[in-house]
């Protein structure tokens, strides 16, 4: 596998679910010694939180599993559909937004719901928005994101002619 592979995680605000997915995916890549083969980022369909750090509850649930979240919220840009090979939406609303956006701007990025790769998820499964709930919601989200990221990596490696 020689070509660098780029992966973008997208939610609504880019402060809870997608920074968590970005951090978990980076962590999995690190464990597998594959970090230098990938470009990983996250973004939000909305712009309300642009420039903010990840939500402290997301940071705490990641930190308890040894994962550090970094970066600041940004909004999805037209170039993202050309820059990224894979774009993973957290829920159906994010996915519909991205599909409409891509129809308008073009680009080759492959769009999926992240939980299509969750062994406990499947077609149509969503990562629920934990923003208005308590810390338990973030733990639940962490678990499904971690399961999904592991199988997502297997899928990408298979599609790109490599195994982990």
Among 12, 69, 109, 149, binds ligand 4NP (CB under 6 A): 12
Closer to ligand 4NP at the Cβ: 77 or 160? Answer: 77
Binds ligand 4NP (CB under 6 A): choice among 7, 13, 41, 111? 13
Distance of closest approach, residue 164 Cβ to ligand 4NP, in angstroms: 27
Residue 108 neighbours by CB under 8 Å, 6+ apart: 81, 82, 85
Catalytic: which of 17, 26, 115, 150? 17
Of residues 87-106, those binding ligand 4NP (CB under 6 A):
none
Residues 111-150 that bind ligand 4NP (CB under 6 A): 129, 131
Per CB under 6 A, 17 contacts ligand 4NP = yes
Number of residues that bind ligand 4NP (CB under 6 A): 11
Tracing tokens 């712009």 back to the chain, one arrives at: 47
Q: What is the 3-state secondary structure (H, E, C) of 26-85?
A: HHHHHHCCCHHHEEEEEEECCCCCCCCCCCHHHHHHHHCCCCCCCCCCCECCCCHHHHCC
Q: Say whether 129 is catalytic.
A: yes
How many Å apart are CA 130 and CA 145, to the nearest integer?
13
**What's the rounded Cα separation, in Å, for the pair 11 and 91?**
7
- Is there binding between residue 23 and ligand 4NP (CB under 6 A)? no
Instruction: Please enumerate in sequence order all residues whose Cβ is within 8 A of that of 128, keeping only pairs 6 or more positions apart, or say none.
Output: 91, 137, 140, 141
61 binds ligand 4NP (CB under 6 A): no
Q: How far is CA 30 from CA 23, 37, 164, in A?
A: 10, 10, 12
Which one of the listed residues 55, 129, 147, 149 is annotated catalytic?
Answer: 129
Question: Is 37 in the active site?
Answer: no
* 11 lies in the site for ligand 4NP, by CB under 6 A: yes
> Which residues are catalytic, by number?
11, 17, 129
Residues that bind ligand 4NP in the complex, under the rule CB under 6 A: 11-17, 48-49, 129, 131
């Amino acid at each position: 596998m020689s070509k660098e592979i780029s992966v973008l995680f997208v939610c609504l605000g880019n402060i809870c679910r997608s920074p968590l997915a970005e951090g978990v995916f980076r962590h999995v890549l690190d464990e597998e010694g594959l970090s230098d083969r990938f470009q990983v980022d996250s973004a939000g369909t909305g712009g309300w939180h642009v420039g903010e750090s990840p939500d402290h509850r997301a940071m705490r649930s990641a930190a308890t599993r040894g994962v550090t979240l970094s970066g600041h919220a940004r909004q999805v840009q037209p170039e993202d559909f050309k820059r990224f090979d894979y774009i993973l939406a957290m829920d159906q609303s994010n996915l519909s937004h991205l599909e409409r956006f891509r129809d308008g701007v073009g680009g080759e990025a492959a769009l999926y719901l992240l939980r299509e790769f969750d062994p406990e998820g499947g077609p149509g499964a969503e990562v629920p928005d934990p923003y208005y709930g308590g810390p338990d919601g973030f733990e639940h989200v962490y678990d499904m994101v971690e399961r999904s990221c592991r199988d997502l990596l297997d899928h990408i490696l298979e599609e790109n002619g490599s195994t982990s």
